[in-house]
Structure 1
């Protein structure tokens, strides 16, 4: 009898253990299915993808928006695979935890200035934060233009040039002092291929393009005599003297890059680090967009003379640097079967005739801007002689424009 009761008791125990185990197993399966359903789905969106095009508006593209996010501003290392139907096996979260969307939102602002359109793309926590930062950045651009423009007769730069050759030194603002000191450094490093005193020549060639007629050789030589970075004297008290009468400064080969860097600096001061500032193709890049390793920059490798988007070949992922392009693709004078670029060789006085478009990556947009101008003048052979001394620069010489996104 005791044996029979033991058998009955064991059977009931086994039955309840079996039911409990089966029930637990089913619950685990159901919870896993719920977790998978929450992670895998992705959306196709017309959200602009971290994108800008040099000289054009950013295109709208359909891209997967992954929903698995580790925390504010940072994507899960494996989230990029979830849209393919793969669930992260590492760093698994509790089945009851829902994936959180990125707390940063994308904002874009534009502002016409310096003969181009400035464009800011940023990831901020709120529209209020983004708007305030953009307003400050564009105000700084306006201030820089008022100081550095060679078009405005009452700009600080124009007033300085009006004092050239009179033996007087003029106290200048911090920004004008800094950009002229940088210009002097780039002039010396490039052997005069970049020269901020090129103003008399650029004015002459600008007029020639408007009239569509070649400037006289004698006038070119006369203007060239007023050019030379060695004729800028930097003195104590933030004072500058232009030694030769008729000297005109032209910061067109550096000012936009300088302004782009200033914009990015202001955004960072406002707590916005995932951003870029585009000054008509002179681009200052901050931290990468959320979930990305960098901003995607596309540059062409084709040597075709036709400028088409089909020539885009090489893609770069860049962050915290500057990149710009310079060349004779759009502004030039055609005369005598030759095409003379708006970029003038300060050493000879003549507009460049070799059709080359230069893209330069540098630690900042100011450096990239100046060296893009210098390398356009130097050409490939001239750059080869200097590039070993400037290992922080990367240059691509092509004949088609770049786009970035």
Structure 2
């Protein structure tokens, strides 16, 4: 008997797979391989013999084509195994609210954590659903173990239903997506796909063909250190300089004050002593031009602040993270059009939207594997209020199946 997508999901979320941006290794944490090993084992049990875990923690597998047509493109379905470092992913205790009948959901491990309908109006569409949450003391891990469970359940469906015709399907499970290194070591030649779909979106029915473009900025400040008792007219405290820079950031350009197509400047880290300090930022915008404008603004603020500290110096380093995948996907519109049709065939009204973030697909698109992003069904990612509906995960499985059928039919 086939394993339900929810049973798979419950099995995966209890494995701690948090990534760590401070670690230089790939994967950044060895524990991500714990999930990778389990997935390889399960893929072998399903009957997918080439499934394997490589040294970087990636899982590769192939569902062979079962059609007589030889011009069906090879599709990759991708999801990431790591969970975000933003909130604890250790000791996840999933709960199921069966046959949800409306109202706020109070989480048992920390009753102050409440999934409120007012904050998550999508709950109004989930009457009768089985909703999976954490107990409120950790995140759940639907981002992106829901995507993994859906791809695994679809793989089992294809193997058990050979009458459903499809081309070759490649499966890729990545590590370290949450820290921006998810596809650093992916071997696209070995993968051998023509294009792909990341199962890493949110609400049921959504397809995303556009992501933020993203850079990171590091500012290193060297101040003037001296004994505080004799500091008059001499000390230039690097911690104070860093604080002045953050204090001057425009309030209407922060993640908490922007939405839709607005980008932001977001300080993510600050450390220092009197002599030296470091500031970390992420910059996000949907256009390259908007990204550059925000970086120029940040550097201008830094320069203005430094004018008040003539004995101090700074360096300003920009590191490219990923770019808006729409640039690539617009050249292959059928990738998104077929996904829209598959969502419709799976019984939903498709919603096209833009990701206020990025996925492995953003980077893969620019590496030569155009990738759109399909819903995985989760909500309130990176927080203890994260939740996902079993029925929405089942719809995602149906979408994968319909998509593979569609590419075979139209080849």
| TM superposition score normalised by structure 2 | 0.23
By percentage of residues, which structure has more helix? 1
- Structure with the larger RCO, 1 or 2 (CA within 8 Å, 6+ apart): 2
| TM superposition score normalised by structure 1 | 0.24
